[in-house]
Amino acid sequence: DMLQDLVIAAVNQALGEATKMAQEQMSRVTGGMLGDMNFLKNFNMGI
């Protein structure tokens, strides 16, 4: 159980960081035209 919890925590952290990076890149590409849509949160896998 402990190993499973550690893996889940690591995956959740990686997903959060990837989402943040993707939002930053999207903001650069669009020049901020889209605002803070947080659309990538829809890809939360429920882990």
DSSP H helical segments within 1-47, as ranges? Answer: 2-30
Spatial distance between the Cα atoms of 19 and 31, rounded to a whole number of angstroms: 18
Residues 19-30 as b or e (16 or more Cβ within 10 Å = b): beeebeeeeeee
Q: What is the pTM of this model?
A: 0.59
Structure tokens at 7: 């893996």
pLDDT digit string, tens, across residues 1-47? 899 999 999 999 999 999 999 988 888 888 766 665 566 566 655 54
The residue behind tokens 């803070």 is: 36
20-32 per-position pLDDT tens digit: 999 888 888 887 6
Helix (H, G, I), strand (E, B), or coil: what is residue 6?
helix
